[in-house]
């Protein structure tokens, strides 16, 4: 009897996995994810998620979630995985498990071209810098520049970008991927200063977050990431959004 119950449970588990995976996404972080007028989401994260689900024989169902509630909603089982440009850090690994990385992205400051701002401590005191709250960029900016600049935190990166465009900010601090997309759409903006990728803050790349203990799902995702890297699907998807290799070393 016990053996029969175990077999049934295994079958149900297999069915649930192969049928549908609920994926937490932000929907406000172009070009990685962006909500369309009809409520659908598009972007690199979305394409990667669909490619991974295809590789695993599953169907993605996307659940849009504000960034600062991403991990709590995963732990509350609102969805099964987070594919939302989440950096793999030691602090986050205390709460969730991560797959291997599926891309890497350092961060950089962005300014208006008509501004003569330079990224030097002695020249930045009192400047107002926008950043998305509860992100790695927020923590890095706070730890390294918090006593020099005025930090203004936003719910979404788009909100910060908009305030830079209309002159409410001197700078924004952003991952290079979204920053590159912003500059392409607004030729009056440009990057300024060096790129930042110190592993103390920027971890070991961008991964898929899962609940701890779900090792089978983690292995399936890792295998799928490896497969799309090897079969050309990854390269095809990244070429839609980037002119450089976003996977990194």
Residue-level pLDDT at 51: 98
Residue-level pLDDT at 96: 98
Predicted confidence (pLDDT) at residue 17 exceeds the cutoff of 90: no
Does residue 56 contact residue 169 with C-beta atoms inside 8 Å? no
Burial (CB count <10 Å: 0-12, 13-18, 19+), residue 117: middle
> pLDDT tens-digit profile of 84-102?
999 999 999 999 999 999 9
Which of 103, 124, 106, 102 shows the shortest CA–CA distance to 115? 124
Query: Residue 34: helix, strand or coil by DSSP?
Result: strand
| Domains of the chain and any CATH numbers | 2-104+205-241 (3.40.190.10), 107-201 (3.40.190.10)
> pLDDT tens-digit profile of 188-239?
999 999 999 998 998 889 999 999 999 999 999 999 999 999 999 999 999 9
Predicted confidence (pLDDT) at residue 14 exceeds the cutoff of 60: no
Predicted confidence (pLDDT) at residue 5 exceeds the cutoff of 50: no
Residue-level pLDDT at 244: 86
- Rounded to whole angstroms, the Cα distance separating 42 from 50 reads 11
> pLDDT tens-digit profile of 125-182?
999 999 999 999 999 999 999 999 999 999 999 999 999 999 999 999 999 989 998 9
Residue-level pLDDT at 231: 97
- Rounded to whole angstroms, the Cα distance separating 84 from 78 reads 15
- Rounded to whole angstroms, the Cα distance separating 223 from 176 reads 27
Which of 215, 200, 217 shows the shortest CA–CA distance to 90? 200
Band the pLDDT of 12: cuts 50, 70, 90. very low
- Rounded to whole angstroms, the Cα distance separating 38 from 29 reads 17
Mean pLDDT value across the chain: 91
Band the pLDDT of 18: cuts 50, 70, 90. low
- Rounded to whole angstroms, the Cα distance separating 6 from 121 reads 63
Element (H, E) at 56: helix 44-56
Tell me the pTM. Answer: 0.80
Residue 138, Cβ neighbours under 10 Å: how many? 17
Phi, psi (rounded to 5 degrees) for 68: -70, -10
């Amino acid at each position: 009897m016990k053996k029969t119950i175990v077999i049934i449970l295994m079958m149900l588990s297999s069915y649930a996995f192969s049928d549908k995976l609920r994926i937490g996404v932000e929907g406000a972080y172009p070009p990685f994810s962006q909500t369309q007028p009809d409520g659908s989401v598009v972007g690199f994260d979305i394409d990667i998620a669909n490619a991974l689900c295809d590789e695993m024989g599953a169907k993605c169902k996307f659940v849009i979630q504000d960034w600062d509630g991403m991990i709590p909603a995963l732990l509350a089982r609102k969805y099964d995985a987070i594919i939302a440009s989440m950096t793999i850090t030691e602090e986050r690994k205390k709460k969730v498990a991560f797959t291997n990385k599926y891309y890497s992205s350092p961060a950089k400051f962005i300014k208006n071209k008509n501004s003569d701002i330079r990224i030097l401590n002695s020249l930045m005191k009192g400047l107002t810098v926008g950043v998305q709250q509860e992100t790695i960029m927020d923590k890095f900016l706070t730890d390294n520049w918090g006593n020099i600049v005025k930090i203004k935190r936003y719910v979404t990166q788009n909100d910060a970008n908009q305030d830079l465009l209309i002159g409410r900010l001197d700078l924004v601090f952003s991952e290079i991927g979204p920053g590159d997309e912003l500059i392409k759409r607004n030729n009056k903006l440009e990057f300024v200063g060096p790129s930042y990728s110190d592993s103390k803050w920027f971890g070991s790349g961008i991964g898929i977050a899962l609940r701890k203990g779900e090792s089978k799902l983690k292995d399936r995702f890792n295998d799928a990431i490896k497969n799309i890297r090897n079969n050309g699907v990854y390269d095809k998807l990244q070429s839609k959004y980037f002119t450089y290799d976003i996977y990194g070393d």
